[in-house]
Amino acid sequence: MASPAPDAAIQSPTGAPSGATVAARPLAIEVRNLVCHYDGREVLKKVDCAVASGEVMVVMGGSGSGKTTLLRCMLGLKRPSAGSVRLLGEDVYVCSGATLQDLRKKMGVAFQGGALLSSLTLAENLMLPLEEHTRLDRSTMRTMARMKLEAVDLGGYEDLKPAELSGGMVKRAALARAIVLDPPLLFFDEHSAGLDPVVAAEIDELIIRLRDALGMTIVVVTHELASAFRIADRITVLDRGEILQSDRPQAIRESAITRVQDLIQRRPGRNRSDTDAYLGRLRGND
């Protein structure tokens, strides 16, 4: 396994798509030596990565490589067996309950699949985080929900239920809910999976706008290569729970690591030999 790029590369990035000159940005997210198990099975193996403030990090990797698990660990939802996660300088699994609650206000999350409540309208869905974390009156909450829906081009749809929306609209609504509290940290799981390329590109645009206009630090998990290279300041490539490489998009494109190239060129790679072995066994040749 190749070592992740040193932190110096994070703090003095070159070629960030925003064109922003980032002299020495603080790290907004730091994951160190993270090990995570499900039912005794190790699904993250000493994962190390970091995101500088105001950057977009894309986590790429095949299905089952551990992307969502890494995100859940970052969010404080899945306690790792070892290692640490720091968000905005706070150690998520060591800090007090009050600090964690305060951190939660600073994180916007859009899960794989949207996770909007089907019985509520879009406006009501967006008002949920406001009800949980603020004491605003309902009419102010409703106004804020409407403004955020407008920001993702869903103005006028506030009284519709999720089932009445297209896939792309659900993704945008989930993004609107994630940003309703203007959080400094935004996490997005599979933001463009299953969408047509135009809608996917529109959501990418939105993510870039959130980074550039609001300075959000954003972690996006995706399989979609085009999206990843469009929005990322840094790409972290996961394979079977291990980080193969975490670096600038250009360095990932030019990676000398065969498994990284397999992934970005969509070559079957080692899965091909697994498949061949399986077919061989079926034929009784193995």
CA dist list (Å): 229 to 29, 36, 236, 265: 20, 28, 12, 13
* Residue 204 or 239 with smaller CB distance to ligand ATP: 239
Positions in 108-167 near Mg ion (CB under 5 A): none
Positions in 214-233 near ligand ATP (CB under 6 A): 223
Burial letters for 3-15: b for 16+ Cβ neighbours within 10 Å, e otherwise?
Answer: ebbeeebbeebee
How far is Cα 131 from Cα 129, in angstroms, rounded to an integer?
5
Positions in 236-255 near ligand ATP (CB under 6 A): none
Shortest reach from residue 223's CB to ligand ATP, in Å: 6
Shortest reach from residue 241's CB to Mg ion, in Å: 13
Shortest reach from residue 21's CB to ligand ATP, in Å: 33
Element (H, E) at 28: strand 27-38
* Residue 21 or 63 with smaller CB distance to ligand ATP: 63
* Binding pattern for the stretch 191-220 against Mg ion, x by CB under 5 A and - elsewhere: ------------------------------
- Would you list the DSSP string of 116-184? --TTS-HHHHHHHHHHHH----HHHHHHHHHHHHHHTT-TT-TT--GGGS-HHHHHHHHHHHHTTT--S
61 binds ligand ATP per the rule CB under 6 A? yes
How far is Cα 53 from Cα 27, in angstroms, rounded to an integer?
6
Candidate list 68, 84, 134, 261; residue touching ligand ATP; CB under 6 A: 68
Shortest reach from residue 12's CB to ligand ATP, in Å: 30
Positions in 33-52 near ligand ATP (CB under 6 A): 38-39, 43
Shortest reach from residue 68's CB to Mg ion, in Å: 3
**For the packed helices 122-133 and 138-151, what is the interaxial angle rounded to 10 degrees?**
120
What residues pair up with 245 in beta bridges, in sequence order? 237
Per DSSP bridges, beta strands 82-87 and 27-38 are: antiparallel
Q: Total number of residues binding Mg ion (CB under 5 A)?
A: 2
Candidate list 11, 68, 84, 134; residue touching Mg ion; CB under 5 A: 68
Residues that bind ligand ATP (CB under 6 A): 38-39, 43, 61, 63-69, 223
Q: Residues interacting with Mg ion, by CB under 5 A? A: 67-68
